[in-house]
């Protein structure tokens, strides 16, 4: 076991897969000599050359389209969005090409491509750099959507995503890159379609993902002191949802709180609520509650930015409201 930053865990995953398979390549803005905006590709260009770690112009639609074409011919491109918000400029390529070509070609083409990079609400990065694009991509057929949350799952999930024959959108939270954790020295892979039971409990099911996992676990420390016993699920896979794990937990707790950094309107939580109501409505003892970010562009002002996202004290209050005082 070795204590590792999340950005280093991601770099290690890419390095190992590039070493194992010469079809794996990296494209994006400043991924080469600069090493990526958060140093996930640091020094890889000197090991693998400037053609396998390709610095591109600031033209997201162009290099995304180029990567999809490369994937069709048999390569396994990894696109780094300097900030995931910029990939809105490649939305047509991601939706109409990456997501659909396997279907519209009658299965003649596979698109083994990973689109990864930093997203989420950072520290005063402004509205255009604080996007949460998971809800934007949720409705596109053919995509898998992953949100890593720890150095351990970041590495195992990214390796699996690179080997997958489908297009994978891989979200990394900008405030988690410096998170440290012990991870195995030996190679490991994690499944792309399974949620993680972060904490077993019996009182309530708290469903979350990405950075909010850590806010939920902070809240749990206080809740446990007050005799509450929450079960915490980190979704990891936002598409497809691991509804089996969610349902198993609901049959045990019969109460649900969803905590997300996504916007409330059209957010991931809305889809989860719909699925739970369709499949497990009779298991619920109370209405599902969701805590989501404000439906506004993220302010640049630090205090206003803090006010737009969910914090542990709000999670504690919501759990007490659903269960009642102990």
Mean pLDDT of 151-171: 98
Catalytic residue among 60, 134, 231, 305: 60
Check whether 21 has a pLDDT greater than 80: yes
pLDDT band at 277 (very low <50, low <70, confident <90, very high): very high
Mean pLDDT of 32-38: 94
| pTM score of the predicted model | 0.96
User: Which CATH number goes with the domain that contains 137?
Assistant: 3.40.50.970
Check whether 326 has a pLDDT greater than 80: no
Q: Are residues 25 and 146 in the same domain?
A: yes
CA distance readout (Å), 12 to 39, 119, 199: 11, 20, 27
pLDDT, tens digit, 9 for 90 and up, residues 78-106: 999 888 999 999 999 999 999 999 999 99
Q: Are strands 196-199 and 230-234 parallel, antiparallel or unpaired?
A: antiparallel
Q: Are residues 24 and 157 in the same domain?
A: yes
Q: Are residues 21 and 58 in the same domain?
A: yes
Q: Are residues 139 and 251 in the same domain?
A: no
How high is the pLDDT of residue 6? 98
Q: What are the tokens at 31?
A: 């991924």
How high is the pLDDT of residue 144? 97
Q: Are residues 10 and 71 in the same domain?
A: yes
pLDDT band at 253 (very low <50, low <70, confident <90, very high): very high
pLDDT, tens digit, 9 for 90 and up, residues 163-217: 999 999 999 999 999 999 999 999 999 999 999 999 999 999 999 999 999 999 9
pLDDT band at 151 (very low <50, low <70, confident <90, very high): very high
pLDDT band at 122 (very low <50, low <70, confident <90, very high): confident
Q: Are residues 179 and 211 in the same domain?
A: no
Check whether 318 has a pLDDT greater than 90: yes
Question: With pLDDT > 70 as the criterion, what percentage of the chain qualifies?
Answer: 100
In a domain, 211, yes or no: yes
Q: How does DSSP assign 90-148, residue by residue?
A: GHHIIIIIITTHHHHTTTS-----EEEEEES--SS--GGG---THHHHHT-TT-EEEE-
Catalytic residue among 17, 45, 129, 305: 129
Check whether 219 has a pLDDT greater than 90: yes
How high is the pLDDT of residue 123? 86
Q: Are residues 215 and 178 in the same domain?
A: no
Mean pLDDT of 217-243: 97
| Summary mean pLDDT of the chain | 96
Q: Are strands 24-28 and 76-80 parallel, antiparallel or unpaired?
A: parallel
Q: Structurally, how many domains does the chain consist of?
A: 2
Question: Is 29 among the catalytic positions?
Answer: no
Contacts of 231 (CB under 8 A, 6+ apart): 197, 199, 200, 201, 202, 203, 204, 205, 206, 249, 252, 253
Check whether 218 has a pLDDT greater than 80: yes
Check whether 270 has a pLDDT greater than 80: yes
Q: Are residues 23 and 58 in the same domain?
A: yes
Point out which residues pair with 197 in neighbouring strands.
Answer: 233
Q: How does DSSP assign 200-248, residue by residue?
A: --SSEEEEE-TTHHHHHHHHHHHHHHTT--EEEEE--EEES--HHHHHH
How high is the pLDDT of residue 281? 97
Q: In terms of residue numbers, what domain contains 65? A: 2-183
Question: Is 129 among the catalytic positions?
Answer: yes
How high is the pLDDT of residue 72? 96
């Amino acid at each position: 076991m070795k204590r590792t930053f999340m950005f280093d865990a991601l770099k290690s995953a890419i390095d190992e897969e590039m070493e194992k398979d010469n079809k794996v390549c990296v494209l994006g803005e400043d991924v080469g000599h600069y090493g990526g905006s958060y140093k996930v590709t640091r020094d890889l260009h000197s090991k693998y050359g400037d053609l396998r770690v390709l610095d591109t112009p600031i033209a997201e639609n162009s290099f995304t389209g180029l990567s999809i074409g490369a994937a069709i011919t048999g390569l396994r491109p990894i696109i780094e969005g300097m900030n995931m918000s910029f990939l809105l400029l490649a939305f047509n390529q991601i939706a109409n090409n990456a997501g659909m070509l396997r279907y519209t070609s009658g299965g003649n083409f596979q698109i083994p491509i990973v689109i990864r990079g930093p997203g989420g609400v950072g520290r005063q990065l402004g509205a255009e750099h604080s996007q949460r694009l998971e809800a934007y991509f949720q409705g596109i057929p053919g995509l898998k959507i992953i949100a890593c949350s720890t150095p351990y799952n970041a590495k195992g999930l990214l390796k699996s995503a690179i080997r997958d024959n489908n297009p994978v959108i891989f979200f990394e939270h900008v405030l988690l890159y410096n998170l440290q954790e012990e991870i195995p020295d030996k190679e490991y892979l994690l499944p792309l379609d399974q949620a993680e039971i972060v904490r077993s409990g019996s009182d309530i099911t708290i469903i979350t993902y990405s950075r909010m996992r850590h806010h939920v676990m902070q809240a749990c420390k206080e809740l446990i002191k007050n005799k509450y016993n929450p079960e915490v699920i980190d979704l990891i896979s936002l598409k497809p949802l691991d509804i089996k794990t969610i349902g198993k937990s609901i049959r045990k707790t019969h109460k649900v709180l969803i905590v997300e950094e996504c916007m409330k309107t059209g957010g991931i939580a809305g889809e989860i609520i719909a699925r739970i109501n369709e499949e497990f409505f009779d298991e619920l003892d109370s209405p599902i509650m969701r805590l989501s970010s404000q439906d506004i562009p993220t302010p640049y002002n630090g205090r206003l930015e803090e006010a737009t996202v969910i914090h542990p004290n709000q999670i504690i209050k919501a759990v007490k409201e659903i269960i009642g005082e102990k």
